[in-house]
Amino acid sequence: MSPAAYPTDWNAMSLPALFDALCRADAEDAVTRALREDLGDAGDITSAACFGPNDRGRAKIVSRADGVLAGIRVAEIVAARAGLSLRVHVEDGARVGRGTPIATVEGPLLALLSHERTMLNFLTLLSGNATLAAQFIDAVRGTRAAISDTRKTTPGLRTLQKYATRCGGATLHRIGLFDAALFKDNHLGAFGGDSLAARAREAAIRARSAAPLAFVECEVDTLAQLDEILSLEQGILDMVLLDNMDPGTLGEAVRRRDTRAPWIKLEASGGVRLDTVRRIAASGVDRISVGALTHSASALDLGLDLMIDHASDHASDHTTDRTTDRTTDGAPR
C-alpha cells in the first residue's frame, strides 16, 4: 500500500478490518522471514529424526497468565503455511486468564512441531504489547485522556505491534513518517523564520501541501513556546505535543489551550509509566503517548500443550492423548 493510500483514521476501524488493511501484507512477510531464520535450508532436524510423515497430532495453545490476546491472525498465517488446521477459541482483543484455551492446532506432527515456536513467538510478543496497553488504559479510566502508541517499535514489526496496541485499547499515533507531520525541536530549530509560531506555520503549510495527512503536530518544551503556538489560526495545527512537563505544568497548558485555542488537542509525552500516568491524565490532556507499549512490554506467557495421535494407533482405531512436559512458556526452546 502506498503512503498516499493510507486512511486518516485507523482508529475507526474494527480489529479484523484493521489487520487486513494495515498488517496482513507485513504479517505475511514477517512470517516468511521468521520461518526462514528458524528452519533454514535443512528444516527441523530434531523433529524429523523423531517422527514420520504419517504421525499426526493436536495441540492447544493456552494462556499461562492474565492478559489481552493479540496475534491470532498471524498464527493463522503460520498454520496455513504449515498445512495445519487452526481452530480459534479466543479472538484478538479479548481478555484471557490463566488456563484459557486460545486455539487448537491439528495436522502432521512434523509440521506442528516445526512451526509451533514461530506461532508462539508472534502471539507472546503481540499479546504482551496488547496487555501493557490495556494496563495503561485501565490506569486512566474515567479521565479524558487516550493512550497512544509511538514509533518506538521493533524494526520490521511496526504495523503488527501497532495493531497489538489497538487490541489492548490504545489509540494509534502516526504509522510512520509518511502519514502525519510532527515537528520537533530538531526540525524547527534549524528551520528558517523569526519566531517559533512563524516557523511552525510555514512548515505545517508545506507538509499539508505534500501529502494527505492524518494530523499535523508541533512539539513544545515550555509554556512560553505553547503560548506562541496557540497564537496560530485554526487549521494550521491539529495537536501540540507537551514534552516532559510535570502534571502541574500540563494542567496550566490545558487551561491556556481551553482559553485561546480549544480546537487544538494536547498530547503529553515523556516520563510516562504505569505509576505516573494517572496523574498525567488528571491534568486534562487529550492524549498520552507511551513508547513502552512497544519497546518495553513483557511477552505474555502462552504455552502449547501437545497431544499425539500415533499412526500405529490409528491402525487399531485407538487414539492416545499425551500432554508433554514443556518449558515455562509451554514449548521447546
Give the residue numbers marked as catalytic.
117, 152, 184, 219, 243
Torsions phi, psi of 270, nearest 5? 100, 125
* 182 strand-pairing partners: 217
- What length does the chain have? 333
Cell numbers representing residue 238 in the block: 491539529
State how far Cα 240 lies from the chain centre.
23
| Strand residues in 54-188 grouped as ranges (E) | 56-63, 67-68, 85-88, 95-96, 101-108, 146-148, 181-183
- What are the distances in angstroms from CA 293 to CA 128, 140, 153, 224, 250? 9, 15, 9, 30, 22
HEC per residue, 6-46: CCCCHHHCCHHHHHHHHHHHHHHHHHHHHHHHHHCCCCCHH
Question: At a CB cut-off of 8 Å and minimum separation 6, what does 285 contact?
Answer: 144, 145, 242, 250, 253, 254, 266, 267, 268
- In contact, 332 and 326? CB cutoff 8 Å: yes
* 268 strand-pairing partners: 242, 288
Task: Please state whether 74 falls in left (phi above 0), alpha (psi between -120 and 50) or beta.
Answer: alpha
- In contact, 34 and 121? CB cutoff 8 Å: yes
